[in-house]
Amino acid sequence: MRLGQVVPNFLAETTAGRFQFYDWLGDSWCLLFSHPADFTPVCTSELSRLAESHSEFWKRGVKLLALSCDRLRSHHAWIEDLRRFCRNAPCEFPYPIISDETRELAVLLDMIDEDQKDNPEMAMTVRSVYVIGPDRKVKLTMQYPNSTGRSVDEMLRVIDSLQLTSRLKVVATPSDWEPGRQVMVLPHVKQEDLTALFPGGVDTIECPSGQTYIRTTSDIWREPWRTRAPPARPMETFHPTLAAQSMDESTSLNEVIKFIDDVARLPNLRQMPLGDLMELTSSLVTETTYTTSTSERLQAMTKFLRALTP
Protein backbone atom coordinates (compact mmCIF):
# COMPACT_ATOMS: atom_id res chain seq x y z
CA MET A 1 0.00 0.00 0.00
CA ARG A 2 1.34 3.41 -0.98
CA LEU A 3 0.73 6.85 0.46
CA GLY A 4 -2.51 8.31 -0.86
CA GLN A 5 -3.86 4.93 -1.95
CA VAL A 6 -7.42 4.07 -0.93
CA VAL A 7 -7.52 1.04 1.33
CA PRO A 8 -9.99 -1.41 -0.23
CA ASN A 9 -12.96 -2.59 1.77
CA PHE A 10 -12.57 -6.08 3.17
CA LEU A 11 -14.42 -8.57 5.35
CA ALA A 12 -12.52 -9.23 8.57
CA GLU A 13 -12.79 -12.11 11.01
CA THR A 14 -11.74 -10.60 14.32
CA THR A 15 -11.78 -11.12 18.06
CA ALA A 16 -14.64 -8.59 18.13
CA GLY A 17 -16.67 -10.47 15.51
CA ARG A 18 -16.96 -10.29 11.75
CA PHE A 19 -17.26 -6.88 10.09
CA GLN A 20 -16.72 -4.95 6.87
CA PHE A 21 -13.77 -2.61 7.25
CA TYR A 22 -15.59 0.48 5.93
CA ASP A 23 -18.55 -0.08 8.27
CA TRP A 24 -16.21 -0.48 11.24
CA LEU A 25 -14.05 2.52 10.28
CA GLY A 26 -16.90 4.99 9.82
CA ASP A 27 -15.56 8.55 9.86
CA SER A 28 -12.63 7.77 12.15
CA TRP A 29 -8.91 7.57 11.66
CA CYS A 30 -7.38 4.11 11.95
CA LEU A 31 -4.06 2.63 13.00
CA LEU A 32 -3.88 -0.73 11.20
CA PHE A 33 -0.89 -2.80 12.22
CA SER A 34 0.31 -6.36 11.71
CA HIS A 35 2.45 -8.60 13.89
CA PRO A 36 4.30 -11.82 12.96
CA ALA A 37 2.71 -14.27 15.39
CA ASP A 38 0.79 -14.74 18.63
CA PHE A 39 2.57 -15.99 21.74
CA THR A 40 5.86 -14.33 20.81
CA PRO A 41 7.73 -11.92 23.12
CA VAL A 42 8.15 -8.81 20.96
CA CYS A 43 4.58 -8.98 19.64
CA THR A 44 3.31 -9.33 23.19
CA SER A 45 5.23 -6.23 24.24
CA GLU A 46 3.82 -4.24 21.30
CA LEU A 47 0.15 -5.18 21.48
CA SER A 48 -0.01 -4.89 25.26
CA ARG A 49 1.60 -1.44 25.08
CA LEU A 50 -0.99 -0.40 22.50
CA ALA A 51 -3.72 -1.72 24.80
CA GLU A 52 -2.33 0.38 27.65
CA SER A 53 -2.31 3.44 25.38
CA HIS A 54 -5.70 2.91 23.73
CA SER A 55 -7.22 5.94 25.47
CA GLU A 56 -4.55 8.17 23.89
CA PHE A 57 -5.63 6.97 20.45
CA TRP A 58 -9.32 7.38 21.29
CA LYS A 59 -8.66 10.98 22.34
CA ARG A 60 -7.38 11.54 18.82
CA GLY A 61 -10.36 9.79 17.20
CA VAL A 62 -8.16 6.87 16.08
CA LYS A 63 -9.35 3.27 16.07
CA LEU A 64 -6.84 0.45 16.55
CA LEU A 65 -6.92 -2.70 14.41
CA ALA A 66 -4.36 -5.51 14.62
CA LEU A 67 -3.72 -8.34 12.16
CA SER A 68 -1.78 -11.58 11.92
CA CYS A 69 -2.14 -14.92 10.15
CA ASP A 70 -2.93 -16.84 13.33
CA ARG A 71 -6.24 -18.57 13.93
CA LEU A 72 -9.01 -16.76 15.74
CA ARG A 73 -8.92 -19.12 18.71
CA SER A 74 -5.19 -18.42 19.04
CA HIS A 75 -5.91 -14.68 19.23
CA HIS A 76 -8.52 -15.19 21.95
CA ALA A 77 -6.17 -17.33 24.02
CA TRP A 78 -3.27 -14.90 23.55
CA ILE A 79 -5.36 -11.94 24.69
CA GLU A 80 -5.26 -13.34 28.22
CA ASP A 81 -1.46 -13.11 28.12
CA LEU A 82 -1.64 -9.60 26.68
CA ARG A 83 -3.90 -8.44 29.49
CA ARG A 84 -1.55 -9.92 32.08
CA PHE A 85 1.41 -8.16 30.44
CA CYS A 86 -0.35 -4.76 30.56
CA ARG A 87 0.52 -2.51 33.48
CA ASN A 88 -3.00 -1.08 33.36
CA ALA A 89 -5.00 -3.94 31.91
CA PRO A 90 -8.51 -2.99 30.73
CA CYS A 91 -11.34 -5.30 31.77
CA GLU A 92 -12.04 -5.98 28.10
CA PHE A 93 -9.32 -5.99 25.46
CA PRO A 94 -9.79 -2.59 23.80
CA TYR A 95 -9.31 -3.32 20.09
CA PRO A 96 -9.96 -6.15 17.60
CA ILE A 97 -7.33 -8.51 16.17
CA ILE A 98 -7.92 -9.84 12.65
CA SER A 99 -7.39 -13.51 11.90
CA ASP A 100 -6.04 -13.80 8.34
CA GLU A 101 -5.39 -17.54 8.05
CA THR A 102 -5.50 -17.49 4.23
CA ARG A 103 -3.00 -14.59 4.14
CA GLU A 104 -5.10 -12.99 1.39
CA LEU A 105 -5.51 -9.77 3.32
CA ALA A 106 -1.85 -9.65 4.34
CA VAL A 107 -0.79 -10.00 0.69
CA LEU A 108 -3.34 -7.39 -0.41
CA LEU A 109 -1.98 -4.91 2.16
CA ASP A 110 1.71 -5.71 1.47
CA MET A 111 2.32 -7.07 4.94
CA ILE A 112 4.18 -10.24 3.90
CA ASP A 113 7.96 -10.48 3.58
CA GLU A 114 8.88 -10.60 -0.12
CA ASP A 115 10.97 -13.72 0.49
CA GLN A 116 8.01 -15.57 1.99
CA LYS A 117 4.96 -14.43 0.03
CA ASP A 118 4.94 -17.54 -2.22
CA ASN A 119 5.19 -19.95 0.71
CA PRO A 120 1.90 -19.93 2.62
CA GLU A 121 3.24 -22.40 5.18
CA MET A 122 6.14 -20.12 6.11
CA ALA A 123 4.75 -16.66 5.43
CA MET A 124 4.23 -14.39 8.42
CA THR A 125 3.23 -10.76 8.49
CA VAL A 126 6.01 -8.28 9.20
CA ARG A 127 5.58 -5.36 11.60
CA SER A 128 3.62 -3.08 9.25
CA VAL A 129 1.85 0.10 10.34
CA TYR A 130 -0.70 2.03 8.29
CA VAL A 131 -2.34 5.25 9.41
CA ILE A 132 -5.59 5.54 7.49
CA GLY A 133 -7.63 8.74 7.32
CA PRO A 134 -11.42 9.17 7.42
CA ASP A 135 -11.26 9.33 3.61
CA ARG A 136 -9.94 5.72 3.70
CA LYS A 137 -6.61 6.77 2.20
CA VAL A 138 -3.19 5.74 3.51
CA LYS A 139 -1.61 8.73 5.27
CA LEU A 140 1.53 7.01 6.61
CA THR A 141 3.28 3.66 6.33
CA MET A 142 6.01 2.09 8.45
CA GLN A 143 7.54 -1.36 8.26
CA TYR A 144 9.83 -2.91 10.83
CA PRO A 145 11.64 -6.25 10.68
CA ASN A 146 10.54 -9.02 13.01
CA SER A 147 13.53 -8.35 15.26
CA THR A 148 12.56 -4.76 16.09
CA GLY A 149 9.56 -3.70 18.15
CA ARG A 150 7.70 -0.50 17.32
CA SER A 151 7.42 2.66 19.41
CA VAL A 152 3.89 3.58 20.46
CA ASP A 153 5.07 7.09 21.34
CA GLU A 154 6.25 7.51 17.75
CA MET A 155 2.89 6.29 16.43
CA LEU A 156 1.11 8.93 18.51
CA ARG A 157 3.60 11.60 17.46
CA VAL A 158 3.11 11.00 13.74
CA ILE A 159 -0.67 10.88 14.17
CA ASP A 160 -0.54 14.27 15.90
CA SER A 161 1.47 15.60 12.96
CA LEU A 162 -0.84 14.08 10.34
CA GLN A 163 -3.98 15.40 11.99
CA LEU A 164 -2.48 18.86 12.47
CA THR A 165 -1.26 19.18 8.89
CA SER A 166 -4.50 17.78 7.48
CA ARG A 167 -6.22 20.84 8.98
CA LEU A 168 -3.42 23.33 8.37
CA LYS A 169 -2.41 22.92 4.74
CA VAL A 170 0.23 25.66 4.98
CA VAL A 171 2.52 24.09 7.60
CA ALA A 172 4.64 20.99 8.16
CA THR A 173 6.26 19.53 11.27
CA PRO A 174 10.08 19.38 11.53
CA SER A 175 12.34 16.61 12.77
CA ASP A 176 11.54 15.38 16.29
CA TRP A 177 8.50 17.69 16.45
CA GLU A 178 6.07 17.21 19.31
CA PRO A 179 2.74 18.96 20.01
CA GLY A 180 3.30 22.42 21.44
CA ARG A 181 6.49 23.06 19.49
CA GLN A 182 6.92 25.35 16.52
CA VAL A 183 5.90 24.21 13.06
CA MET A 184 7.40 25.18 9.72
CA VAL A 185 5.60 27.30 7.14
CA LEU A 186 5.63 25.64 3.73
CA PRO A 187 7.78 27.29 1.03
CA HIS A 188 4.85 27.92 -1.33
CA VAL A 189 3.22 30.33 1.15
CA LYS A 190 3.88 33.86 -0.07
CA GLN A 191 5.65 36.31 2.21
CA GLU A 192 2.86 38.86 1.84
CA ASP A 193 0.31 36.33 3.14
CA LEU A 194 2.13 35.56 6.40
CA THR A 195 0.60 38.35 8.47
CA ALA A 196 -2.94 37.36 7.54
CA LEU A 197 -2.28 33.67 8.14
CA PHE A 198 -0.20 34.02 11.30
CA PRO A 199 -0.87 37.36 13.03
CA GLY A 200 1.03 36.05 16.06
CA GLY A 201 4.22 36.16 14.04
CA VAL A 202 6.59 34.08 11.94
CA ASP A 203 10.33 33.67 12.56
CA THR A 204 12.54 33.56 9.47
CA ILE A 205 15.90 31.79 9.80
CA GLU A 206 18.79 33.37 7.92
CA CYS A 207 20.66 30.92 5.68
CA PRO A 208 24.08 31.29 3.99
CA SER A 209 22.30 30.91 0.66
CA GLY A 210 20.34 34.08 1.35
CA GLN A 211 17.08 32.24 0.78
CA THR A 212 14.22 32.59 3.28
CA TYR A 213 12.63 29.18 3.03
CA ILE A 214 13.01 28.26 6.72
CA ARG A 215 10.12 29.95 8.50
CA THR A 216 8.69 28.81 11.83
CA THR A 217 5.65 29.78 13.88
CA SER A 218 3.83 28.87 17.07
CA ASP A 219 0.70 30.73 15.98
CA ILE A 220 -1.38 27.66 15.17
CA TRP A 221 -3.67 27.25 18.19
CA ARG A 222 -6.26 29.87 17.29
CA GLU A 223 -9.22 30.15 15.00
CA PRO A 224 -9.52 29.29 12.17
CA TRP A 225 -6.74 26.73 12.74
CA ARG A 226 -8.23 25.30 15.94
CA THR A 227 -10.90 22.98 14.61
CA ARG A 228 -13.07 20.73 16.64
CA ALA A 229 -12.23 17.05 16.30
CA PRO A 230 -15.11 14.58 16.01
CA PRO A 231 -15.95 12.55 19.10
CA ALA A 232 -14.19 9.19 19.32
CA ARG A 233 -17.70 7.73 19.21
CA PRO A 234 -21.02 9.55 18.65
CA MET A 235 -22.64 10.34 21.98
CA GLU A 236 -26.05 9.05 20.94
CA THR A 237 -24.64 5.52 20.53
CA PHE A 238 -24.29 5.36 24.31
CA HIS A 239 -27.89 6.48 24.90
CA PRO A 240 -30.49 8.03 22.53
CA THR A 241 -31.01 11.02 24.85
CA LEU A 242 -27.41 12.14 24.23
CA ALA A 243 -27.76 13.32 20.65
CA ALA A 244 -24.83 15.59 19.78
CA GLN A 245 -25.37 19.18 20.80
CA SER A 246 -23.78 22.22 19.22
CA MET A 247 -21.23 23.57 21.69
CA ASP A 248 -18.61 26.24 21.27
CA GLU A 249 -16.94 29.05 23.24
CA SER A 250 -20.31 30.82 23.60
CA THR A 251 -21.97 27.87 25.34
CA SER A 252 -22.71 28.74 28.94
CA LEU A 253 -21.25 26.79 31.84
CA ASN A 254 -24.77 25.84 32.95
CA GLU A 255 -25.45 24.26 29.55
CA VAL A 256 -22.19 22.31 29.69
CA ILE A 257 -22.90 21.09 33.22
CA LYS A 258 -26.46 20.09 32.26
CA PHE A 259 -25.10 18.04 29.35
CA ILE A 260 -22.53 16.33 31.59
CA ASP A 261 -25.21 15.75 34.23
CA ASP A 262 -27.34 14.03 31.58
CA VAL A 263 -24.42 11.70 30.88
CA ALA A 264 -23.79 11.12 34.58
CA ARG A 265 -27.43 10.07 35.07
CA LEU A 266 -27.34 7.33 32.43
CA PRO A 267 -29.00 4.32 34.08
CA ASN A 268 -26.33 1.87 32.91
CA LEU A 269 -23.31 4.06 33.56
CA ARG A 270 -21.67 2.01 36.31
CA GLN A 271 -22.42 -1.27 34.54
CA MET A 272 -20.66 -0.26 31.33
CA PRO A 273 -17.61 -2.30 30.27
CA LEU A 274 -14.41 -0.36 30.86
CA GLY A 275 -13.79 -0.05 27.13
CA ASP A 276 -17.17 1.63 26.58
CA LEU A 277 -16.64 3.82 29.62
CA MET A 278 -13.28 5.01 28.28
CA GLU A 279 -14.87 5.78 24.91
CA LEU A 280 -17.71 7.65 26.62
CA THR A 281 -15.26 9.74 28.65
CA SER A 282 -13.18 10.49 25.55
CA SER A 283 -16.26 11.52 23.57
CA LEU A 284 -17.52 13.65 26.45
CA VAL A 285 -14.20 15.48 26.69
CA THR A 286 -14.24 16.09 22.93
CA GLU A 287 -17.83 17.37 22.99
CA THR A 288 -16.94 20.00 25.60
CA THR A 289 -13.38 20.82 24.51
CA TYR A 290 -14.14 24.29 23.20
CA THR A 291 -16.73 25.28 25.80
CA THR A 292 -16.02 27.76 28.60
CA SER A 293 -12.67 28.00 30.35
CA THR A 294 -10.35 25.20 31.39
CA SER A 295 -11.19 25.60 35.09
CA GLU A 296 -14.92 25.54 34.39
CA ARG A 297 -14.55 22.40 32.27
CA LEU A 298 -12.65 20.76 35.11
CA GLN A 299 -15.50 21.55 37.49
CA ALA A 300 -18.00 20.03 35.08
CA MET A 301 -15.90 16.91 34.42
CA THR A 302 -15.48 16.45 38.18
CA LYS A 303 -19.25 16.09 38.45
CA PHE A 304 -19.16 13.38 35.80
CA LEU A 305 -16.29 11.49 37.42
CA ARG A 306 -18.04 11.57 40.79
CA ALA A 307 -20.96 9.79 39.17
CA LEU A 308 -18.65 6.86 38.42
CA THR A 309 -17.82 6.26 42.08
CA PRO A 310 -20.12 4.22 44.34
DSSP for 101-153, please give it.
TT-HHHHHTT-B-TTTTT-TTT--B-EEEEEE-TTSBEEEEEEE-TTSPPPHH
Active-site residue, 207 included = no
Nearest to 176 by CA among 202, 152, 158, 203: 158
Q: Which of 30, 38, 43, 86 is catalytic?
A: 43
| Residue 150 near residue 142 (C-beta atoms within 8 A) | yes
Q: What does the chain come to in residues?
A: 310
Q: Which of 27, 91, 118, 135 is catalytic?
A: 135
Q: Whole-angstrom Cα distance, residue 277 to residue 238?
A: 9
Beta bridge partners of 14: 17, 98
Q: Whole-angstrom Cα distance, residue 217 to residue 285?
A: 28
Q: Whole-angstrom Cα distance, residue 121 to residue 208?
A: 58
Residue numbers annotated as active site:
43, 135
